[in-house]
């Protein structure tokens, strides 16, 4: 039934006429279902590819040039026969930062390899190619039924997913994931080939790749060349392999051509990418929780944390390099929460959700059969949200103050399992040494980007706000006793902890662990706090999950009811880090009363924003020189360089780095952001406001060619005009 409804819905959506004025095409469509609709509808919009050229599981297609980075945190595209991949600068930011030092400040100066031997490996980096997709709804439902037959009171979905994935990849080198669609009303198996040797090849300086920084984030107009190049490597036999100097560049099965002719208003464009997560079927009760609990706590606590880090980064280049990636990640979520809350209020999302819910109730109560199945769904969801409200409030405080707070707590927690094994005498001296060596390696990586003074300030400020605002019944007894000894002054507690704990400095951790033996008893003042906090977090999460299960069960029924109530509605599965198609046109939009935004920006805007007193708006001397001499090469339009442009694609996190493709499937830009006026779109699509902000591929090429003179990359690209 889901497939049939989905096909009708997609056909309805594709029949809507798109105007250049910004009525976005809603939907992140599963490619595996495109063959169930009339594909000519998409071709009528402007795409010039056949369905098999776009997506095929039997033959090579465009989808074989698109990869999920790190499990779907970003999207990348293969752009050469030898595994060269392009994505966003902010998707590579942590790797650029990791390789940076005061001597080699790649964040400030950029990085450009000149040969394979100069490309930099990145531990933990991976890219995944989609190999196969299978509808396994019937199989999952059978396994659920078997669990109930064997006495289960509720299905263990994690076990079912793991069993299916494990069975799928047995005897081969693939990896598999099972994803639910429509709130668990259907299930699909996704099979991937994942490569873990991915090396940094080229990245512009942050003053170009992150121009505008925190201030411009989520805003239009933008003037950013948000790109980074990697290369995927394989074992000599072409199979995925861990990093080795003997590995060779991937022999690409499919790669994108780059079209340097640019885009114009009303041009058809599309994206194949890996949008991470939307919650557009969330009820009004869920939106209330986000608006009244989750976002306010996140905003105020991250604001405090960011202020500490920002000040420290401005005072020290060493701290700037250490905390660049941490600051970027925290700032992104902080500003997103602000924008999302503003939009939820402005567009009256809760009120709109309630209108739909009232329609649902009227439909559900229209006959006894429907009432029996759906009549109590919304009330059960509402009750569960009410019952978990105080717990969720506490969990959010713990998330921000403890899990995302001072790193000394995380450092201490890493010893917990090790401590248990040592003190239970379950380790031989040889096993102890092996475990210590592994721990020291992990700690060395962590402390590389750690500053004791910064972390201590975060401890003082966040923990003080934490204890003053959380309901104290949710604090661990051990911590309450300790806090009372210090009269609830987290500054005094921090003075004691950071002066006595080995975890305040790597040298102390190293010395401590290297002198352990199997008879040691591990003690440290920060470990007691960390252990009590984490024990409480686990307990609260367990309590909250009881209500989350009720909500999930209710949401599943609610979504199924929506599908059944009106199959012609524009319903489609929420994004969940699986490959999706989104399409639309190039065009500007009306941001607010009397404010109209053009669909592209130029390098002239970079110079207009240029300000040496603001790090975010400073630019390299070479870029200024190229601008002043108008040395734009073959990348200019009307005597200038177009830097970014707008499309009305339906995107979310995970789409970062996605190729913007023209009607022929050629790369014309890179998606990197959404716009401030549609920040609530993960929960409620805003058709007249939704925009996708993209780096123009001509600006990218200009930076590689004219700014960096990196012919090593240029010579590998297939550029057409």
Cβ contacts of 167 within 8 Å, gap of 6 or more: none
Helices H, strands E: what count in the chain?
Answer: 27, 23
Cα 517 from Cα 707, distance rounded (Å): 56
Q: Which of 61, 80, 90, 126 is catalytic?
A: 90
Give which of 142, 49, 200, 52 is closest to 663, Cα–Cα: 49
- The Cβ-side half-sphere exposure at 608, using a 13 Å CA radius, reads 8
The DSSP code for 403 is I
Give which of 69, 85, 80 is closest to 130, Cα–Cα: 69
Respond yes or no: is residue 684 known to be catalytic: no
Cα 560 from Cα 5, distance rounded (Å): 11
Within 566-645, residue ranges assigned H as helices are 603-609, 621-628
Cα–Cα distances (Å) from 350 to 289, 375, 682, in that order, read: 11, 21, 14
Q: Are 200 and 80 in contact (CB under 8 A)?
A: no
Q: Assign residue 213 a region (left: φ > 0; alpha: ψ between -120 and 50; beta: otherwise).
A: left
Task: Report the 10 Å Cβ neighbour count for 598.
Answer: 14
Q: Are 350 and 551 in contact (CB under 8 A)?
A: no
Give which of 225, 229, 227, 222 is closest to 208, Cα–Cα: 225
At 455, list the tokens: 């972390």
Furthest CA-CA distance within the chain: 77
Q: Are 140 and 205 in contact (CB under 8 A)?
A: no
Q: Which of 656, 680, 681, 695 is catalytic?
A: 656
Cα 601 from Cα 695, distance rounded (Å): 10
Angle at 194 between CA 192 and CA 198, to 5 degrees: 150
Respond yes or no: is residue 99 known to be catalytic: no
Cα 269 from Cα 341, distance rounded (Å): 30
Coil, helix or strand for 83? coil
- Cis bond leading into 221, ω under 30°? yes
Q: Which of 98, 105, 226, 267 is catalytic?
A: 226
Coil, helix or strand for 258? strand
Respond yes or no: is residue 532 known to be catalytic: no
Cα 187 from Cα 175, distance rounded (Å): 17
Within 93-136, residue ranges assigned H as helices are 93-99, 106-109
Place of tokens 């997913």: 161
Cβ contacts of 435 within 8 Å, gap of 6 or more: 418, 421, 427
Coil, helix or strand for 186? strand
Coil, helix or strand for 460? helix
Place of tokens 């009171």: 153
Task: Tell me the chain's radius of gyration from C-alpha atoms.
Answer: 26
Cα 30 from Cα 203, distance rounded (Å): 32
Give which of 570, 581, 546 is closest to 687, Cα–Cα: 570
Place of tokens 């001296």: 429
What is the full DSSP assignment across 132-183?
Answer: EEEE-HHHHHHHHHHHHHTT-SS--HHHHHHHHHHHHHTTSS-EEEEEEEGG
Catalytic positions = 90, 226, 656
């Amino acid at each position: 039934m889901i497939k049939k409804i989905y096909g009708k819905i997609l056909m309805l959506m594709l029949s809507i006429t798109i105007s250049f004025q910004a009525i976005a095409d809603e939907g992140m469509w599963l490619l595996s279902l495109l063959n169930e609709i009339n594909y000519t509808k998409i071709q009528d919009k402007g795409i010039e590819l056949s369905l098999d050229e776009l997506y095929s599981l039997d033959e090579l297609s465009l989808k074989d040039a698109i990869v999920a980075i790190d499990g779907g945190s970003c999207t990348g595209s293969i752009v050469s026969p030898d595994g060269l991949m392009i994505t966003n600068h902010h998707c590579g930011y942590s790797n650029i930062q990791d390789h940076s030092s005061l001597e080699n400040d790649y964040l400030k100066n950029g990085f450009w390899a000149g040969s394979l031997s100069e490309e930099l490996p990145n531990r933990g980096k991976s890219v995944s190619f989609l190999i196969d997709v299978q509808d396994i709804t019937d199989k999952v439902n059978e396994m659920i039924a078997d669990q109930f037959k064997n006495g289960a009171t509720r299905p263990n979905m994690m076990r079912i997913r793991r069993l299916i994935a494990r069975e799928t990849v047995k005897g081969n080198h693939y990896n598999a994931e099972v994803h639910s669609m429509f709130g668990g009303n259907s299930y699909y198996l996704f099979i991937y080939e994942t490569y873990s040797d991915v090396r940094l090849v080229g990245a512009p300086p942050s003053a170009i790749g992150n121009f505008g920084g925190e201030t411009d984030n989520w805003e239009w107009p933008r003037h950013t060349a948000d790109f980074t190049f990697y290369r995927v490597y394989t074992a000599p036999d072409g199979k995925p392999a861990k990093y080795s100097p003997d590995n060779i560049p991937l022999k690409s099965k499919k790669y994108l051509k780059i079209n340097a002719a640019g885009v114009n208003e009303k041009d058809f464009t599309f994206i194949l990418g890996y949008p991470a997560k939307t919650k557009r079927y969330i009820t009004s009760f869920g939106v209330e929780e986000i608006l009244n609990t989750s976002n306010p706590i996140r905003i105020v606590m991250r604001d405090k944390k960011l202020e500490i880090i920002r000040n420290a980064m401005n005072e020290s280049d060493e701290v700037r390099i250490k905390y660049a990636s941490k600051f970027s990640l925290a700032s992104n979520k902080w500003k997103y929460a602000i924008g999302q809350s503003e939009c939820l209020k402005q567009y009256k999302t809760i009120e709109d959700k309630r209108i739909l819910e009232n329609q649902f109730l009227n439909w559900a109560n229209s006959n006894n059969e429907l009432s029996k199945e759906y009549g109590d769904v919304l009330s059960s969801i509402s009750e569960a949200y009410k019952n978990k409200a105080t717990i969720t409030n506490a969990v959010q405080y713990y998330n921000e103050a403890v899990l995302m707070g001072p790193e000394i707590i995380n450092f201490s927690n890493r010893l917990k399992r090790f401590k248990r094994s040592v003190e239970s005498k379950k380790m031989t001296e040889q096993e102890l040494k092996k475990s210590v060596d592994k721990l020291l390696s992990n700690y060395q990586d962590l402390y590389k980007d750690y500053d004791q003074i910064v972390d201590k300030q975060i401890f003082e400020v966040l923990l003080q706000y934490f204890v003053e605002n959380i309901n104290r019944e949710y604090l661990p007894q051990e911590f309450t006793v300790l806090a009372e000894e210090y009269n609830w002054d987290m500054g005094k507690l921090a003075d004691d902890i950071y002066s006595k704990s080995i975890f305040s400095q790597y040298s102390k951790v190293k010395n401590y662990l290297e002198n352990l033996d199997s008879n040691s008893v591990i003690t440290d003042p920060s470990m007691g706090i960390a252990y009590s906090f984490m024990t409480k977090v686990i307990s609260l999460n367990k309590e909250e999950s009881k209500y989350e299960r009720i909500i999930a069960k209710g949401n599943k029924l609610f979504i199924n009811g929506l599908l059944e109530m009106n199959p012609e509605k524009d319903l489609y599965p929420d994004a969940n880090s699986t490959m999706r198609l989104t399409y639309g046109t190039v065009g500007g939009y009306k941001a607010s009363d009397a404010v109209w935004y053009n669909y592209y920006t130029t390098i002239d805007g970079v110079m207009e924003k240029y300000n040496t007193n603001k790090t975010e708006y400073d630019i390299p001397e070479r870029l200024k020189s190229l601008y002043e001499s108008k040395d734009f090469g073959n990348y200019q339009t009307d005597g200038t360089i177009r830097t970014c442009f707008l499309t009305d694609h339906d995107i979310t996190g995970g789409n970062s780095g996605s190729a913007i493709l023209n009607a022929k499937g050629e790369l014309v830009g890179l998606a990197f952001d959404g716009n401030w006026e549609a920040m609530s779109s993960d929960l409620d699509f805003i058709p007249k406001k939704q925009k996708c902000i993209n780096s123009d591929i001509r600006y990218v090429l200009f930076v590689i060619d004219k700014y960096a003179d990196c012919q090593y990359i240029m010579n590998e690209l297939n550029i057409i005009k």
